[in-house]
Amino acid sequence: MTPSSSIAAPGATPAPEEHHDHHPNYLVDGTTIKSWLLTVDHKRIGLMFLFWVLLFFLVGGIFALLIRVELLTPGPTIMDAMTYNRTFTLHGLVMIFLFMIPAIPAVFGNFMLPLMLGAKDVAFPRLNLLSLYIYLAGAVLALWGMLNGGLDTGWTFYTPYSAHTTTTVAPVLFGAFIIGFSSIVTGINFIVTCHTMRAPGITWFKMPLFVWAIYATSAIQVLATPVIGLLLVLVTVENLFGFGMFDPARGGDPVLFQHLFWFYSHPAVYIMVLPSFGVMSEVVATYSRKNIFGYRAVAYSSLGIAFVGFFAWGHHMFVSGQSTFAGGLFGVLTMIVGVFTAIKVFNWVGTVYKGAVEFKTPFAYFCGFLFFTVFGGMTGIALGTVSLDVAWHDTYFVVAHFHFIMVGATIMAFLAALHYWFPKMFGRTYHEGWGLVAAALIILGFNATFIPQFLLGNNGMPRRYYEYPERFQALNVASTAGATLLAFGFIIIAMYLTYALFYGKASGKNPWRSKGYEWLSESPPPTHNFVGPQPEFPEEPHFYVDPKKAEVPNAV
């Protein structure tokens, strides 16, 4: 079927006829369902990941709203205790394993990495498609287990409870185990792509900072994910067959489970956050119209976070009975991770300083991201201090910290990336005014949801509790009101981006006038990314002004 006779996919931007006939963009180069389901084009795979992670984000968000409605009153509100336990378990599982971990690497890493390296695709295109179907297979199995018996262990699956609960544990654990293979395959693919597929002129220190972030994230995925995979298999076997790996009555050790779980799950924090850092490095340079401040420092700090993150897992276990020396050591290592994050924040602020700032929607999310990262990071440093953590452990203070640094930062970066690269992916523009309104609602709603939870935790309200004393009700009502505001912000985004997908104005090749390598291609890109031979990249990434020849203009 020729492009002229095919039906354009939603969001496709007509190019000039003679260009369109010879180099159709990836959206219209095959419009059948089969052409999408069997594609090996990294861009189409990225879009399919985008569809599924948004669907799972919707599911996880609905569970979150149900939790907040239940907590409006001190006693039962809309569900019983077991349903509540299952609801917050499903919320955590869906949001972490099916949304936050794959959101930026699987969607924007897939779409943008080859474009930023001047490559026609990733190193292993068929493995790339396989990673999508592995992810979906694991998701289907996990959701089937959730719907057929449910799971009430919390997303951490702590033993010995997960080994003895009467709820359905095995399908969910095995589903998470399968999803882990998707992360491993994706990580290997991205690492090999960075090593072997760079265009002439792109040396290691000419790679965009988003690529550095994805590279560091991929290393964590490949090294840490097998640990959680094997751990989930062990818990599944113990649950089904009564093995005693983690059961003290059979000579097992439940604290061993915590060590193995957090050895993966703490680096998994950076699987979610490191790609967010990469997105923000791209956004801040583009909208400040200024070279990134301290390029090498930002690149090295990504590797530093990935490395040190493997040695800080014990700060989740200060009250588990580990030695005072171990607690102090893990606390110090936590502070070192904070140093690497502070380097990035300093360099982003340095990039904005005296830049010609354009306050577009992605930059609004950068501002929200900066606040959540600094505020959430400082509370993380506090929780990494043994004496403070003993008081706050397993209270709503930890819940609020986790959502600030993990959910808030990841969602800010995901939405920034979605708006920043929307013209690149679909060739269309969205309504900037509505974009800023939604960004304001989401940032305000997020603060209104979780700042009361910091106060609840500081006053002693434990996490995961179905009922609570009446003195905590006012703050819980405030938190639920904030969650409602947050939901309205997401509804607005869904409405104007859906409209833009079908009716938005053509964006042109590079509407942001970005110097990012990915914008050297057409928008939306042709099937093989670039027309003609592999391009060369003589300039440095994020190159806006030559500091030796020109001064940065004053901020506007």
Is it the case that residue 551 has pLDDT exceeding 70? no
142-148, long-range: CB within 8 Å, 24+ apart, which pairs? 142/93, 142/97, 142/98, 142/171, 142/172, 142/175, 142/176, 142/179, 143/175, 144/171, 144/175, 145/169, 145/170, 145/171, 145/172, 145/175, 146/86, 146/90, 146/93, 146/172
Euclidean distance between CA atoms 396 and 268, whole angstroms: 21
Mean pLDDT rounded to a whole number for the chain: 91
User: Taking residues 109-133, what's their average pLDDT?
Assistant: 96
pTM here is: 0.92
pLDDT, position 193: 97
pLDDT, position 208: 95
User: Taking residues 172-187, what's their average pLDDT?
Assistant: 94
User: Taking residues 450-458, what's their average pLDDT?
Assistant: 97
pLDDT, position 22: 58
Is it the case that residue 154 has pLDDT exceeding 80? yes
* Cβ pair 386, 327 in contact under 8 A: yes
Q: How many CB atoms lie within 10 A of CB 279?
A: 30
Is it the case that residue 556 has pLDDT exceeding 50? no
Is it the case that residue 411 has pLDDT exceeding 80? yes
pLDDT, position 2: 37
- What percentage of the chain has pLDDT greater than the value 70? 94
> For residue range 348-371, what is the model confidence (pLDDT) as tens digits?
999 999 999 999 999 999 999 999
Is it the case that residue 15 has pLDDT exceeding 50? no
Q: How many CB atoms lie within 10 A of CB 250?
A: 12
pLDDT, position 546: 62
Is it the case that residue 17 has pLDDT exceeding 60? no
* Cβ pair 508, 515 in contact under 8 A: no
> For residue range 228-250, what is the model confidence (pLDDT) as tens digits?
999 999 999 988 888 888 988 88
pLDDT, position 475: 97
- What percentage of the chain has pLDDT greater than the value 90? 81
Is it the case that residue 317 has pLDDT exceeding 80? yes
Q: How many CB atoms lie within 10 A of CB 164?
A: 12
Residue 347: which residues within 8 A CB-CB, separation 6 or more?
Answer: 292, 293, 294, 297, 298
User: Taking residues 267-276, what's their average pLDDT?
Assistant: 92
Confidence of residue 430 (pLDDT cuts 50, 70, 90): very high
Q: Which of 239-243, 251-255, 384-388, 443-447 is least confident?
A: 239-243
Q: Looking at 353-472, list the stretches that DSSP marks H as alpha helix, in order from N- to C-terminal side.
A: 361-383, 386-392, 396-402, 409-426, 432-458
pLDDT, position 84: 95
Confidence of residue 123 (pLDDT cuts 50, 70, 90): very high
| Phi, psi for residue 428 in degrees, rounded to 5 | -135, 160
pLDDT, position 6: 36
> For residue range 257-271, what is the model confidence (pLDDT) as tens digits?
999 999 999 998 899
> For residue range 520-543, what is the model confidence (pLDDT) as tens digits?
999 999 998 988 777 778 788 888
556, exposed or middle or buried, with CB in 10 Å at 0-12, 13-18, 19+? exposed
Q: How many CB atoms lie within 10 A of CB 554?
A: 8
Higher-confidence residue of 262 and 3: namely 262
Higher-confidence residue of 17 and 379: namely 379
pLDDT, position 548: 54
pLDDT, position 66: 97
User: Taking residues 133-161, what's their average pLDDT?
Assistant: 92
Is it the case that residue 194 has pLDDT exceeding 60? yes
pLDDT, position 31: 85
Euclidean distance between CA atoms 357 and 289, whole angstroms: 7
Q: How many CB atoms lie within 10 A of CB 68?
A: 21
Is it the case that residue 211 has pLDDT exceeding 50? yes
pLDDT, position 165: 87
